[in-house]
Amino acid sequence: MEELEIGRWGERRVREQVVRTAFTALPDHAFARMPGLRRLDLSFNELTTLPESFFRLAHLETVDLRYTKLGSPILDRLRNALPHIRVEW
């Protein structure tokens, strides 16, 4: 797999009832079986952290993190661990 889009997974309501909750975190192994991933869209999720397997995506070129809730420590770690990727923030 080279591209994964799980962006815009925010809360969804139907007639005032929540039918889908937003992602706030992903399991540590979420990307473990995707070593060839090049493009990843996680935008519009309520993520506050990134799983450990994310930081091992050596072939990642682009990640979309717009409208997430990631703080400076995570973004700094991302820039240090994967300085070659383009981050949309």
pLDDT digit string, tens, across residues 60-86: 999 999 999 999 999 999 999 999 999
Positive or negative torsion for Cα 87, 37, 76, 67: positive
| pLDDT tens figures, 3-22 | 999 887 766 677 887 666 67
* Phi, psi values for residue 82, rounded to 5°: -130, 65
0.95 cut: is pTM over it? no
- Domain positions in the chain are 3-88
Q: What is the CATH number of domain 3-88?
A: 3.80.10.10
